[in-house]
Amino acid sequence: MIQRLQTLYFLLAGACGALLWGFDFRNNHNPATYIVLPVLVLLALAGIGLFKKRKLQLWLAIIGIILSGVEIYLEYHSIQTLETQKQVITVTHYFSPMLGLLMMLWFFLAARGIRKDNRLMRSRDRLR
């Protein structure tokens, strides 16, 4: 049951990354965004596939949290650049950092679930 939740969290994180990667919410993306987003989507997919290797899966979730923070910064920096250039900023410009925050949340919840699963397995091994 716990593992299924982690898979769901990784799937939702990957979906947020794919939405950001697939839909161009602004006219001028930061080029680093085109590197970070595919990596985040691949991390989420790898986290789903590595359900038997919990330690590696936990590291992927932690790296996903860090890279999501980098993505949020890149999105925020792009918005600030648009503001300094006096370009029109629409509501969709602010939608992309929110998706980045959701992605970070899903990676965090996946990491928390993996840690709980590890503790459960260790306590089960002690009982044997």
Nearest to 53 by CA among 118, 112, 1, 109: 118
pLDDT digits (tens, 9 = 90+) for 3-14: 578 889 999 999
pLDDT tens, residue by residue, 68-116: 999 888 888 877 777 777 766 665 666 777 888 999 999 999 999 888 8
pTM of this structure: 0.82
Report angle CA 71, 76, 81 to the nearest 5 degrees: 125
